[in-house]
């Protein structure tokens, strides 16, 4: 399934089907990952975009201390990276800096070896998609119209929608599994359905790198799993480099290929989930005493109690 990221294949309907009915896969995601690792050729990996940040310092006007200090990360191309950390550790800020939505005070971000700041606004938006945490929309917007806006960077000021745009929209809607909601207004959707519609919008952008800010927070379990399945499909079939901010470290350990743990604006650890998620990290970064065991799909965390503040 080696495909160039810019030209994602039409998603086989079978995938959609399997997402809904394949209980086997849902129960044992680990098995799925192993299978896909074997399926993927090296070409898919080399095709995927590289994305790295060097010495990022990000602050906000009016704040004395930067929120993110000297963050350097090299993200594995074509894999799913999870940014984890407690509340206020700078995850979303770092994501904003990685997406060049917040101008860093220092440091650079490169995508495929090009500095982000050297790319034009639309060029950047064709390479890198970002889904913010809280999204507002006029209620009377249909899902298809919303997804259509994902084509914004691909269209000139006066250009009409092309067949190519329409195909990208169809693909995105199909992959996000919102086909049946196409004509519905966003105002009528549940939180989970709306989130899938927004994901479809960033998918229609057809970028090489996708940054998702807490895409599963506030969703019910069904929609959380649906989102994570989409992310896996993106990695396995579209060869996209995905970065997620995840609130839930357990979920991150289960789904991500690579993890970056932030503590108070600094990178505390990064690596494979098995190496990053340790009892020591949970105590130091999250302030919890927990047991970390080996589940059949990555580390398994059993939180025991919150540690006193002084100890963290």
Partner 1 sequence: MAERPTPTTGGEQSDGSGDDGGPIGRLTSRVGSHVAWIDRSLVGLCLASTLVVVLAGFVQVRYGSYDMRIGEVFWAVLDPNVLLDPRWMLNFLVGEDLMRAITGFEGELPELPPETLIVWTIRLPRVFVAVLVGMNLALSGAIFQAVTRNELASPYILGVSSGAGLAILLTLVMYAGLAAYLPIIAAAGGALAFLIVYAIAWQHGTSPVRLVLAGVIVGTVFQSLQTALFFFADDIGVVQTAIQWTTGSLTGVEWEEARIVLPWSIVVVALALAGARQLNVLQLGERTASSLGMNVERMRFGLSGIAVLAASASIAVAGIVSFVGLIVPHVVRSVVGSDYKKIVVGCLFVGPALMVAADVGARLFFPVVMDVQKQMPVGIVTGLIGGPYFLYMMRRKNLGEI
Interface residue list for partner 1 (CB under 8 A): 9-17, 61, 99, 101, 120-126, 129-132, 135-141, 145-146, 149-150, 152-153, 155, 157-158, 160-161, 163, 166-167, 170-171, 173-174, 179-180, 182, 202, 205
To partner 1, the closest distance from the beta carbon of 166 in angstroms equals 6
Judged by CB, which is closer to partner 1: 10, or 304?
Answer: 10
Could you tell me the smallest distance in angstroms from the CB atom of residue 55 to partner 1? 22
Q: Toward partner 1, which CB reaches closer, 164 or 311?
A: 164
Residue 294: CB atoms within 10 A of its CB come to 9
Long-range contacts from 56-64, C-beta under 8 angstroms, 24+ separation: 56/94, 56/97, 56/98, 56/104, 56/106, 56/107, 56/108, 56/109, 57/104, 57/105, 57/106, 57/107, 58/90, 58/93, 58/94, 58/96, 58/97, 58/102, 58/104, 58/105, 59/105, 60/93, 60/102
Please, which residue, 59 or 265, has the CB nearer to partner 1?
Answer: 59
Nearer to partner 1, 144 or 250 (CB): 144
- Alpha helices by DSSP H, 4-142: 13-21, 23-27, 29-39, 42-47, 91-98, 121-127
The minimum distance between CB 11 and partner 1, in angstroms, equals 5
Report in angstroms how near the CB of residue 130 gets to partner 1 at its nearest: 4
Nearer to partner 1, 140 or 306 (CB): 140
Determine phi and psi for 297, rounding to 5 degrees: -140, 75
Residue closer to partner 1, measured from CB, 15 or 278? 15
Smallest distance from partner 1 to CB 179, Å: 5
Q: How far is CA 166 from CA 79, 149, 161, 239, 243, in A?
A: 27, 11, 7, 21, 26
- Burial (0-12, 13-18, 19+ Cβ within 10 Å), 65: exposed
5 vs 261, beta carbon nearer partner 1: 5
Partners of residue 142 on adjacent β-strands: 185
Question: Could you tell me the CA-to-CA distances from 140 to 143, 205, 310 in Å, in that order?
Answer: 10, 22, 50
Least distance (Å) between residue 303 CB and partner 1: 32
The whole-angstrom separation of Cα 206 and Cα 141 is: 21
Strand order in the sheet with 51-58: 68-75, 51-58, 106-111, 114-115
Query: Cβ of residue 121: shortest distance to partner 1, in angstroms?
Result: 5
In the numeric block, which tokens belong to residue 233? 């499909």
In the complex, the smallest distance separating the C-beta of residue 192 from partner 1, rounded to whole angstroms, is: 19
Q: Which is nearer to partner 1, 241 or 270 (CB)?
A: 241
């Amino acid at each position: 399934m080696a495909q160039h990221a810019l030209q994602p294949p039409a998603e086989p309907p079978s995938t959609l089907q399997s997402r809904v009915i394949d209980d086997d896969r849902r129960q044992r995601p680990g098995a799925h990952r192993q299978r896909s690792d074997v399926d993927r050729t090296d070409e898919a990996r080399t095709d995927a975009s590289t994305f790295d940040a060097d010495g990022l310092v990000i602050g906000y006007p009016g704040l004395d201390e930067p929120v993110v200090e000297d963050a350097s990360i090299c993200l594995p191309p074509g894999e799913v990276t999870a940014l984890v950390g407690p509340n206020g550790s700078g995850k979303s800020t770092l994501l904003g800096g990685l997406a060049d939505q917040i101008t860093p005070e220092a440091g650079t971000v490169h995508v495929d070896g090009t500095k982000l700041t050297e790319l034009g606004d639309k060029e950047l938006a064709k390479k890198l998609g970002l889904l913010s945490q809280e999204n507002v929309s006029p209620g009377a917007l249909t899902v298809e119209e919303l997804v259509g806006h994902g084509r914004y960077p691909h269209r000139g000021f006066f250009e009409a929608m092309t067949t190519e745009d329409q195909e990208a929209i169809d693909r995105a809607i199909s992959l996000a599994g919102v086909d049946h909601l196409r004509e519905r207004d966003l105002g009528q959707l549940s939180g989970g359905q709306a989130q899938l519609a927004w994901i479809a919008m960033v998918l229609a952008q057809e970028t090489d790198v996708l940054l998702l800010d807490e895409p599963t927070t506030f969703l019910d379990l069904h929609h959380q799993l649906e989102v994570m399945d989409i992310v896996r499909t993106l990695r396995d079939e579209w060869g996209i480099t995905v970065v997620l901010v995840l609130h839930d470290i357990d979920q991150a350990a289960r789904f991500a290929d690579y993890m970056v743990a932030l503590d108070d604006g600094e990178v505390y650890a990064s690596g494979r989930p098995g190496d990053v998620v340790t009892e020591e990290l949970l105590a130091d970064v999250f302030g919890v005493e927990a047991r970390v065991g080996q589940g059949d799909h990555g580390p398994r965390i059993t939180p025991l109690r919150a540690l006193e503040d002084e100890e963290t």
